[in-house]
Amino acid sequence: MSGLRMTLRSFLQHAKSALFKAGEQDLSGSRSFTFVIGNESAGMKSSLLYAYVRSCKPPPEAFTSLYIPLLNIPARDIDLRPEFLALLPHGDFESGSLITLDDFHAVEARLSPEDTRWILVDHNALQGGLGTKYATYVTGVIDHHDDEGKVPKYTGCEPRIITPSGSCTSLVTNYCRQTWDSLSDRAVQSKEHSHECDAQTAKLALASILIDTTNLTAKGKTTEHDINAVLYLESKIRDVSSMTVGFDRTSFYHEIDAAKKDIGSLHLVDILRKDYKEWTEQGDQKLGISSVVKPLSFLQAKAQNEADDVQIEDEESPFLAAIRDFAKDRSLDLYTIMTTYTSADDEFQRELFVWALTSKAVSAAKRFVNAASGELGLEDWCEAQSVEKLSSSEGDKEFRKVWRQGNVEHSRKQVAPLLRHALR
């Protein structure tokens, strides 16, 4: 590959074709791959940006010249992310072009772990089955979460960047900036086409940063990394007159934000797994956290409607029964739902629902409450607004509690470490 004259569509087709050749019997394809992978919430924009720019101009010492952007979800979960679907026209490619875990697992049997290298974006510890098999082959990271110490201190020609920012995509953008500019300057042939590719890529990255930082307005979250990245990406868009006409950052943000919140057609279980992350502590204590862009009242109504449709009878309310099943299916000891929404007074709100389902987790949940209530600004959730009692304590067997989170600046990035620490 040379320059940025290859479109995102062509790049993804090339990367997927190269991966599938590894599964062919004739051994014609390379069996060595560098994967760029986001967290379980997908991380499509940051992994695609890094893989795209890096593949156009790989370092001389790179393990492979092609970097494959791998979504950390199965293909069926793409449809759970309407914000993805809304972005596809801006990048001029289809969801089928994306490379998912299904694609990887289809050829995995023909790959040797030692013939792979992994670059992590938006997380710094490879989780689950991938982590068990490939963690020792992680050779780079760009992330904005707390450093878990899983990535080697020396990563050779790949970056090891773990620093606070509102969006990981900002860090990826700023890291790739010098290479990206050199590629654009070098593309003397089909120059306008090259700039169009730049603008398409910039729009995808910009969407990620704007959503993560609420259009750069999130206090305590937005950093100079984010501001600088947005200004740079906007300059890429302005280089193409056809994309500048009618483009407005705020309107673009509202378009993607509206798509992200359009989850009314999804089943409750799909809403819960749409933005779900999982950790294991102390070897066997499993924590799961779902982030949802609607209030608990929406989830309760969704559960009730689904129960009415199939006429399920259960001792628990439909909502609690659905949540229990969700946690049980994943063998969770501690399950948390974090909601965000805008109130009738146009104020940004957060709710926090914590359910400890084992005796060990009950102790952990209580430690979390004692340690984190002040930091998170936890306030009693008004049960009067609910048709069911969500908070309950059954001795040392189970514990569940709902709060209104007064400190709305603290997202899952801050809450997850507090819960994980309580489990240790």
Tell me the pTM.
0.90
Last residue of some domain: 258, 293, 319?
258
Q: Could you tell me if residue 402 is inside a domain?
A: yes
Confidence class of residue 137 from pLDDT cuts 50, 70 and 90? very high
Position with higher pLDDT, 190 vs 211 = 211
Confidence class of residue 27 from pLDDT cuts 50, 70 and 90? low
Verify that 288 and 251 share a domain, yes or no: no
pLDDT digits (tens, 9 = 90+) for 92-101: 899 999 999 9
Instruction: Fill in the amino acid letter for 182.
Output: S
CA pair distance 320, 296, nearest whole angstrom: 11
Range of the domain at 15: 8-258
CATH number reported for the structural domain that contains residue 179 in this entry: 3.90.1640.10
Among residues 225, 226, 221, 183, the alpha carbon closest in space to that of 201 is found at 183
> How much is the pLDDT for 1?
53
Verify that 107 and 176 share a domain, yes or no: yes
Distance between terminal CA atoms of the chain? Answer: 47
Verify that 212 and 313 share a domain, yes or no: no
Verify that 92 and 215 share a domain, yes or no: yes
> How much is the pLDDT for 219?
86
pLDDT digits (tens, 9 = 90+) for 337-372: 999 999 888 889 999 999 999 999 999 999 999 999
Q: Could you tell me if residue 2 is inside a domain?
A: no
> How much is the pLDDT for 2?
46
Verify that 250 and 297 share a domain, yes or no: no
**Total structural domains in the chain?**
2
CB 144 within 8 A of CB 168: yes
CA pair distance 77, 72, nearest whole angstrom: 10
| Helix (H), strand (E), coil (C) string for the chain | CCCCCCCHHHHHHHHHHHHHHCCCCCCCCCCCEEEEECCCCCCHHHHHHHHHHHHHCCCCCCCCCCEEEECCCCHHHHHHCHHHHHHHHHHCCCHHHCCCHHHHHHHHHHCCHHHEEEEEECCCCCCHHHHHHHHHHEEEEEECCCCCCCCCCCCCCCCEEECCCCCHHHHHHHHHHHHHHHHHHHCCCCHHHHHHHHHHHHHHHHHHHHHHCCCCCCCCCCCHHHHHHHHHHHHHHHCCHHHHCCCCHHHHHHHHHHHHCCCCCCCHHHHHHHCEEEEEECCCEEEEEEEECCCHHHHHHHHHHHHHHHCCCCCCCHHHHHHHHHHHHCCCCEEEEEEEEECCCCCEEEEEEEEECCHHHHHHHHHHHHHHHHHHCEEECCHHHCCCCCCEEECCCEEEEEEEECCCCCCHHHHHHHHHHHHC
pLDDT digits (tens, 9 = 90+) for 191-224: 546 678 888 999 999 999 999 999 999 988 999 9
User: Is 70 exceeded by the pLDDT of residue 190?
Assistant: no
Position with higher pLDDT, 272 vs 24 = 272
Verify that 231 and 307 share a domain, yes or no: no
Verify that 351 and 235 share a domain, yes or no: no
